[in-house]
């Protein structure tokens, strides 16, 4: 069987592609950067696609010889892209599948997706779901299934990273009344559901809510992750809903306004229809997590997650201060005296002062804007500063306030921030 996976570079897509390759299926991964997909998922071929722009005709050649299509593509938090990536883009893909005779289509949607949903995310997902269902209502010619998963848990998932980070805090936050129940399913069980549906006989025309067996509060979910990480019980502190709402409005944390609305609405569904349609009974979350025990790397990643933005902020402040203080707070006489010590006077000194200060400010701003490579640029500039001062004013090594030796700490912080950049090319 030849399966085309759209959005194969995402969390669900990567796990799904890996399982299908292991089962001996021929997999083509589709995404914006094919070379990246081939690096991420060994054993697949890759092609370029862009759901925000590709027409029905653009898909025709790509679908030649394809037996099944799985659409895992999705955005969260970028409402401007929802109409294209979630609705019109998948609709064009599904129309092309129908016209070229693809045997079956699996659409990975979201629990709660329907036309009257409160969130734009769910409404846009529902638009593609409804379009697919209308193409062949009986599923006799082109079998189709819309999967609506609840919270999907597993290594590499953002939800898992978030709840593991919350669980690893010395004092665990209790979201309490901030939201309703969730019904998490492990990624391995979701992949098993898809695998079975790829081999299910036609006709196939299903909308399935994909959930785990246990509805739970977010507090219980955090506690589950804490046990998985091997951590003892910790004190909990209730986070008021108004605090979470303020954080969401400011965009200062991982919780968005849309995410808050989804959390408040709850995210549960009956399990029986999924079991009846697929024969797959997802494991309780605690058991599912136990299949892949947490190691030191998992605990380290969970504890680092909330620290990374703080490290970046502190490093940015160092660079901004290094640029602003000489221009605004330091007297011209003091600046001139310092520059004279390294052999710069007159216009060259003024040019060096402004060039260095603006470079420092630029790196600080780039760090705040999370520009990739900003910390690495800072390492280079700090190394240049250190070499110049070490060669021209070596007595600074003995400065009682550590004027030069402190550069080593900044270099170490810069290296840590650069290393913790998780985006892959």
pLDDT at 176: 60
pLDDT at 240: 73
Closest C-alpha among 384, 379, 388, 385 to residue 410: 379
Higher pLDDT, 297 or 239: 297
Please check whether residue 187 is in contact with residue 161, taking contact to mean a CB–CB distance below 8 angstroms: no
Closest C-alpha among 89, 142, 112 to residue 258: 112
Band of residue 252 on the pLDDT scale cut at 50, 70, 90: very low
pLDDT at 279: 96
Buried b vs exposed e over 155-189: b needs ≥16 C-beta within 10 Å?
A: eebebbbbbbbbbbbeebbbbeebbebbbbbbbbb
pLDDT at 420: 87
pLDDT at 379 over 90: yes
pLDDT tens digit string along 154-206? 999 988 998 999 999 998 888 765 557 899 999 999 999 999 999 999 999 99
* d(C-alpha 32, C-alpha 50), whole Å: 6
pLDDT at 265: 61
Q: What percent of the chain has pLDDT over 70?
A: 92
> What does the block give as tokens for 82?
């929802």
* d(C-alpha 12, C-alpha 17), whole Å: 9
pLDDT at 248: 58
pLDDT at 303 over 90: yes
**Least-confidence region, from 1-5, 240-244, 387-391:** 240-244
> Residues 6 or more apart from 4 whose CB is under 8 A from it?
27, 28, 30, 62, 63, 66, 68, 69, 70
pLDDT tens digit string along 266-288? 689 999 999 999 999 999 999 99
Highest mean pLDDT among 107-121, 200-214, 303-317: 200-214
* d(C-alpha 231, C-alpha 138), whole Å: 51
Bridge partners (DSSP) of residue 105 are 69, 144
Higher pLDDT, 367 or 247: 367
Mean pLDDT of the chain: 90
* d(C-alpha 190, C-alpha 288), whole Å: 12
pLDDT at 424 over 60: no
CATH 1.10.10.60 assigned to domain 1-149? The reply is: no
Band of residue 13 on the pLDDT scale cut at 50, 70, 90: very high
Query: Peptide bond before 203: cis, by omega within 30 degrees of 0?
Result: yes
**Least-confidence region, from 69-73, 377-381, 421-425:** 421-425
Band of residue 259 on the pLDDT scale cut at 50, 70, 90: low
* d(C-alpha 60, C-alpha 45), whole Å: 17
Helix axes 89-100, 120-135, angle to 10 degrees: 10
* d(C-alpha 3, C-alpha 199), whole Å: 12
Tell me the backbone φ, ψ of residue 351, rounded to 5 degrees.
-65, -40
pLDDT at 172: 85
Domain extents in the chain? 1-149, 151-184+212-302, 309-419
pLDDT at 399: 81
HEC string of the chain equals CEEEEECCCCHHHHHHHHHHHHCCCEEEEEECCHHHHHHHCCCCEEEECCCCCCCHHHHHHHHCCCCEEEECCCCCCCHHHHHHHHHHHHHHHHHHHHHHCCCEEEEECCCCCCCCCCCHHHHHHHHHHHHHHHHCCCCCCCEEEEEEECCEECCCCHHHHHHHHHHCCCCEEECHHHCCCECCEEHHHHHHHHHHHHCCCCCCEEEEEECCCCCECHHHHHHHHHHHCCCCCCCEEECCHHHHHHHHHHCCCCCCHHHHHHHHHCECCCCHHHHHHHCCCCCCHHHHHHCCCCCHHHHHHHHHCCCHHHHHHHHHHHHHHHHHHHHHCCCHHHHHHHHHHCCCCHHHHHHHHHHHHHHHHHHHHHHHCCCCCHHHHHHHHHHHHHHHHHHHCHHHHHCCCCCCCHHHHHHHHHHHHHHCCCCCC
pTM here is: 0.87
Bridge partners (DSSP) of residue 182 are 216, 267
* d(C-alpha 411, C-alpha 381), whole Å: 10
pLDDT tens digit string along 54-91? 999 999 999 999 999 999 999 887 778 999 999 999 99
pLDDT at 237: 84
pLDDT tens digit string along 28-59? 999 999 999 999 999 999 999 999 999 999 99
Residue 318: exposed, middle, or buried by beta-carbon count in 10 A (0-12, 13-18, 19+)?
buried
pLDDT at 250: 55
């Amino acid at each position: 069987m030849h399966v085309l996976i759209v959005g194969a570079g995402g969390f669900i897509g990567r796990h799904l592609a890996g399982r299908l390759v292991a089962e001996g299926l021929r997999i083509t991964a589709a995404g914006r950067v094919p070379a990246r997909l081939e690096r991420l998922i060994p054993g697949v071929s890759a092609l370029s696609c862009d759901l925000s722009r590709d027409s029905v005709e653009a898909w025709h050649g790509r679908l030649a010889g394809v037996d099944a299509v799985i659409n895992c593509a999705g955005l969260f938090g970028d409402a401007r892209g929802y109409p294209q990536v979630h609705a019109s883009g998948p609709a064009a893909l599904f129309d092309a599948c129908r016209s070229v005779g693809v045997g079956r289509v699996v659409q990975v949607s979201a629990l709660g997706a329907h036309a009257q949903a409160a969130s734009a995310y769910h409404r846009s997902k529902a638009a593609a779901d409804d379009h697919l269902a209308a193409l062949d209502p009986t599923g006799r010619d082109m079998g189709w299934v819309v999967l609506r998963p609840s919270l999907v848990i597993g290594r590499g998932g953002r939800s898992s990273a978030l709840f593991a980070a919350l669980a690893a805090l010395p004092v665990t936050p209790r979201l309490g009344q901030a939201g309703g129940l969730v019904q998490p399913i492990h990624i391995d069980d979701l992949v098993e559901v898809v695998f079975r549906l790829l081999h299910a006989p036609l006709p196939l025309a299903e909308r399935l809510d994909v959930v785990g067996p246990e509805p739970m509060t977010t507090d219980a979910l955090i506690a589950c992750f804490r046990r998985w990480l091997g951590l003892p019980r910790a004190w909990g502190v209730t986070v008021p809903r108004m605090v979470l709402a303020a954080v969401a409005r400011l965009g200062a944390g991982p919780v968005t306004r849309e995410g808050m609305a989804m959390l408040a609405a709850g995210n549960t569904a009956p399990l029986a229809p999924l079991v009846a349609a697929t024969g797959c009974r997802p494991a309780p979350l605690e058991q599912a997590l136990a299949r892949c025990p947490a190691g030191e790397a998992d605990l380290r990643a969970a504890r680092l997650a909330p620290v990374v933005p703080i490290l970046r902020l502190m490093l940015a402040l160092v660079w901004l201060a290094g640029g602003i203080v000489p221009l605004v707070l330091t007297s011209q006489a003091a600046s001139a005296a310092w520059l004279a010590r390294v052999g710069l006077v007159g216009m060259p000194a003024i040019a060096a002062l402004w060039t260095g200060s603006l470079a420092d400010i630029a790196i600080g701003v780039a760090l705040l804007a999370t520009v990739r490579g900003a910390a690495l640029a800072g390492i280079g500039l700090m190394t240049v500063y250190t070499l110049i001062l070490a060669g021209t004013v070596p007595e600074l090594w003995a400065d009682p306030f550590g004027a030069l030796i402190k550069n080593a700490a900044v270099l170490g912080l810069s290296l840590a921030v650069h290393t913790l950049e998780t985006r892959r090319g």
